[in-house]
Amino acid sequence: MTTEIPKLVLMIIAIVGLAQAGFLMLLLRHEGKRAFRANRWLMVFAFASCLSFIEDITDVLLTPKWMLLMAPVFMSMTFAFVPSIYLYFREIADRPVRRPIYHFVVLLPVLVATSGVVWILFDQFVPEIIHGTDVEIDVAIDQHIWLSVLLMTVFIGLYVQLFAYMPKIWKVALGYLRQAGEQLGADQLALRRWTLEILIGITVIFLIFTMTSVIDVFVDDGTWLTTLVQGSFAVVFFRMCHLLASNPALFVQAEWQESDPQESDGSVTSAGKGAISTVVADMRKSLLEDDDVVRIRERLTRIVDSTDTMFDPLLSMPKLANMVGATPNQLSHVLNQHLGKSFFDFVNEVRTKEASILLIDEPDRTVLDIATSVGFNSKSTFNLAFKKITGKTPSAYRIENSK
């Protein structure tokens, strides 16, 4: 009875986690084609997690024989967790990997190794498996040296993969945050929160998962260890779903690759980007004559003065560039070289100017209401942007200028 209760708790957590992971996949799938290139890797991560949850659910419902037969698939998919997160951040940082399938080749040797473990167990413990009795893994390891070798190889592989990928994931993600302000029209604070929460949450989960996988080999009942890991996964998936549902602008992806002919075939490596950046800058300049610059600036002014486009919370560089009749690179060049602003600063300046008028003319409206009406997704982001431009918080500005 005492062993059944932890298994029941684990199954409940696994069911909740499975539902959260499935819901996350649905949300990501419906974010549109533009965001799918990055979100597909989060979907791979969620799918691998679904299999892990299914394994815990079936562990209660199926006999040891069937669990052993399914073990190679479940175990090999755990090696898809870290590469999928890495590929996600590479994609949103506009540094896509040319052959992402190479990052999942490791699944094949893991599948072979775990299949070997299953074959040894079936060969050495036929009576126990046939009669539905759990095989004591520590006893099996003592009796068969190759079983020990295969299991330790798989567990060591988890550690190697974790410590090889996690520094690269952090490097790419933090680099992305530094450039996100110019490339995206989304709420920068929400974007930073999303990225950091994924980084911290996934890092903690991977560490717990790897350690408990090893500890589980040496304890009599590792149900509580699995419960801890799956509970962590469920919490992270819940938070990801919440952030995605409450901040749709997080997944507005700027289509830089499609507008850069040099990178359209994915042939530019990280080593060559430094040399190419100067060429790209010169090319952007050469593609714009003085008349083109004047035309783009006039259309920008017309859009700012006569439309509400700048107050769209989902406004992105490609969308605004399309409205002024330019490519994203051309618009970026005009903003940077002729107006001395990034796309993010330009948009915030327009929104802050409108908000400063509303704060005085409509004293009955709340600061949050005004913030959302001009395109900000949260009060905190509005306060930061407003103070950066005016030197005062919105509330202080309203008090100082009230009649």
Three-point CA angle 362, 363, 366, nearest 5°: 95
Mean pLDDT is lowest, of 84-98, 129-143, 294-308, for 129-143
pLDDT of 238 > 70? The answer is yes
- Angle (deg, nearest 10), helices 81-92 and 188-215: 160
Residue ranges covered by each domain of the chain: 4-251, 287-401
Please state, for a pLDDT cut of 70, what percent of the chain lies above it. 74
Interval 213-227 mean pLDDT:
69
Task: Specify the CATH number for 4-251; select among 3.30.70.360, 3.40.50.970, 1.20.1070.10, 1.10.3720.10.
Answer: 1.20.1070.10
Tokens of 375: 């395109």
Decide whether 4-251 matches 287-401 in CATH topology: no
pLDDT of 267 > 80? The answer is no
Q: What is the pLDDT of residue 283?
A: 41
Q: What is the pLDDT of residue 241?
A: 78
The Cα 398–Cα 242 span in angstroms is 33
Contact 44, 80 (CB under 8 A): yes
The Cα 403–Cα 394 span in angstroms is 16
Strands (E), 120-254: none
pLDDT range class, residue 101, cuts 50, 70, 90: very high
Q: What is the pLDDT of residue 281?
A: 46
Assigned CATH for 287-401: 1.10.10.60
157 or 267: whose pLDDT is higher?
157
**If you search the block for the tokens 């009649």, which residue do you land on?**
403
pLDDT range class, residue 167, cuts 50, 70, 90: very high
Mean pLDDT over each residue of the chain, to the nearest integer: 77
**pLDDT per position as a tens digit, 249-266:** 555 443 433 444 333 334
Within 10 angstroms of residue 385's Cβ, the number of other Cβ atoms is 24
Three-point CA angle 283, 286, 291, nearest 5°: 140
**pLDDT per position as a tens digit, 320-368:** 888 888 888 788 888 888 888 878 888 989 999 999 999 999 989 999 9
pTM above 0.75, yes or no: no
